[in-house]
Amino acid sequence: MAGLLIVISGPSGAGKGTIYNSILERMPEIVTSISVTTRHPRKTETDGVEYFFRTEEEFSKMIANDELLEYARVFDHHYGTPKKHVMDVVESGRTIMLEIDVKGAEQIKRKFPSCVGIFVMPPSFEVLERRLRGRATDSEESIVKRLSEAKGELSTYKLFDYIVFNDNLHDAIDQTVSIIKAERNKICRNETKIKQLLK
């Protein structure tokens, strides 16, 4: 069976992280993508486990050598998705999944068009705002900025293959699991196995 790259995205507050973590609990065979970053590792972090830790110079070389599916600068450090790690998993016939912001998902879709993009959509903009404020972890300035960005991010849904409306978390998780299972069973991903059976 051909491997699969699942990209879960959506605006901040839509619930993509919660859905992502729940799927990993239900489907432990799915491989998680490990990001590369230029920030220093914390005492509890190990290179190649939480992140691949690289210097700014090493990161710049990765960009120049087209070794990243996507990358962005977040505050004072760079973060990105290493292409080799993802391709190794897909080429081995396994499924790899990552949860990422909309800009990163757009970059991946351009470089890896066959990836399966799942856009997590809040039931309404009012619910999105309520969720962001309910976190009680962001400043008012940060919330206003996230809400402003969310309006633009919501309009990118057409770039994705599926939309999951997260008005009921349990249902949203079930729908996402069903999408992954359906993608695994597509004929195009099982040609080799079918040909062996028909010999």
Q: What are phi and psi of 29, to 5 degrees?
A: -75, -15
pLDDT tens digit string along 131-154? Answer: 777 766 667 877 787 777 877 888
Gap between the terminal Cα atoms of the chain: 17
Distance CA 28, CA 25 (A): 6
Tell which residue, 65, 186, 178, has the closest CA to residue 114.
186
pLDDT grade for 6, boundaries at 50, 70 and 90: very high
- Residue 29 makes CB contacts below 8 A (sequence gap 6+) with 94, 95
pTM of the model: 0.83
Place of tokens 């990209």: 7
- Structure letter (DSSP) for residue 157: G
pLDDT tens digit string along 83-130? Answer: 998 999 999 999 999 999 898 999 999 999 999 999 999 888 888 778
CA count, 13 A, side-chain hemisphere, 113: 0
Structure tokens, 190: 């099982």
Distance CA 113, CA 106 (A): 10
Which DSSP helix (H) or strand (E) runs through 8?
strand 4-9
Residue 46 reports pLDDT greater than 70:
yes
> 24-37: b or e for each residue (b if 16 or more CB lie within 10 Å)?
eeeeeebbebbbbb
Distance CA 81, CA 68 (A): 5
What three-state secondary structure class fits 97?
strand
